[in-house]
Amino acid sequence: MQHVKSKMTVTQTSSVGLMAIAALTVILASCDGSSSDFPPTARPTASVTVSSPWQSAQLVRTMTKADEPIRQIAMSPDGQTIASGSVEGNADLWDFKTGKQLRDFSVRSRVESIAFSPDGQTLATGGDDGKARLWQVSTGQFMRSFPRYPFPVQTIAFSPDGTTLATSSWKKTVELWDVATGKLRRTFTGHSDTVNAIVFDHNGKTLASGGYDGTIRLWKTATGESIHTFVASKRPIYTLAFSPDGQTLVSGSDDTIRVWDLTTAQLKTTLLGHTDVITAVAIAPDGRTIVSGSRDKTIKLWDAGTGALIKTLSVDPTLAVVFSPDGRAIASTGNDGKIKVWQASK
């Protein structure tokens, strides 16, 4: 299929703004835990033209459970299965290609977060009862839970080697747990409010966290040392995503997506186009495309290299969005409680 070319004005930080940040920012390699100043307002640059298979993206499948709105989703590493967590206290597995429901897990608590282990054999859920739980994917059997938080488990993430589970809550901290033993390995302290987003980089050496305090913090997972703090927004940070090479971090908070260069600890680009809070971001496995979901009832796909808008999809307010491992499909869920699968053109 022939790809249609589109144009969009891309916003990037001005040279003056970058100089201001550079003057106040300690380069990431120094690892002294200092903070960058609040990012400057981006200014428009010349229009760019891109061609992408996502310009002809089509809705190909919808998955739903009667009277049970789906809140969170995760994609299995092999791309065959998608997991969902509902407000009614259940987690489910779905065949990604057919949309058929395969299995359910009785979490018995509203599922706030969900994640597959890197080998796809374990599913982790975080509930509003303060518990993170592990489940065997092949049988649906409960494996273990971790010590209970006094607050909902906001977000969870497996380390790339699958040995560590990171969790966060209203407690304002990030905890690292040993998956095999269930023991606490380390606690990261520094946020002044709820931690909404946590994500490991590609090799598991760095963890990024974003909070209601509007900051993004980078941590050394081996020691718990604070590497750097970005004062990213005056609004809460709701979502984060590392690029496959670990050199870029994308954040969503207000109606702006910010792209951070971690080799220089500077704001690289801002992507403007949403009109309400950014609730979800993800980066394609090849690093070439960024997808964002918002309360403004749209999902947007962006060219990661230029920042150009590729496609806007109309949906309900979005809660989560993920790429398939081959980068040719995305799945989303929102206030309508449905999983929607979108396919790029061939």
> Is 236 within a domain?
yes
pLDDT of residue 48: 58
The amino acid sitting at 87 is V
Q: Tokens at residue 31, please?
A: 């690892």
> Is 297 within a domain?
yes
Do residues 107 and 153 lie in contact, with contact meaning Cβ atoms separated by under 8 Å?
A: no
> Is 324 within a domain?
yes
> Is 333 within a domain?
yes
Do residues 241 and 249 lie in contact, with contact meaning Cβ atoms separated by under 8 Å?
A: yes
> Is 233 within a domain?
yes
Do residues 132 and 171 lie in contact, with contact meaning Cβ atoms separated by under 8 Å?
A: no
Is residue 206 scored above 60 in pLDDT? yes
Checking phi first, is residue 108 left (phi over 0); if not, alpha (psi -120 to 50) or beta?
left
Higher pLDDT, 45 or 147: 147
> Is 1 within a domain?
no
> Is 222 within a domain?
yes
Q: Any idea what the CATH number is for the domain that residue 322 is in?
A: 2.130.10.10
**Mean pLDDT, rounded, for 217-239:** 94
> Is 187 within a domain?
yes
Counting the structural domains of the chain, the total is 1
322: part of which helix (H) or strand (E)? strand 318-323
| pLDDT per position as a tens digit, 59-74 | 999 999 877 788 899 9
Range of the domain at 108: 6-343
Percent of the chain with pLDDT over 90: 76
Instruction: Using pLDDT thresholds of 50, 70 and 90, give the confidence band for residue 14.
Output: very low
**Mean pLDDT, rounded, for 317-345:** 95
Contacts of 161 (CB under 8 A, 6+ apart): 118, 204
Lowest-confidence range among 147-151, 331-335, 336-340? 147-151
Do residues 252 and 292 lie in contact, with contact meaning Cβ atoms separated by under 8 Å?
A: yes
The structure's pTM equals 0.86
**Mean pLDDT, rounded, for 167-186:** 94
SS3 breakdown of the chain: % helix, strand, coil, rounded to 5?
A: 5, 50, 45
Instruction: Using pLDDT thresholds of 50, 70 and 90, give the confidence band for residue 50.
Output: confident
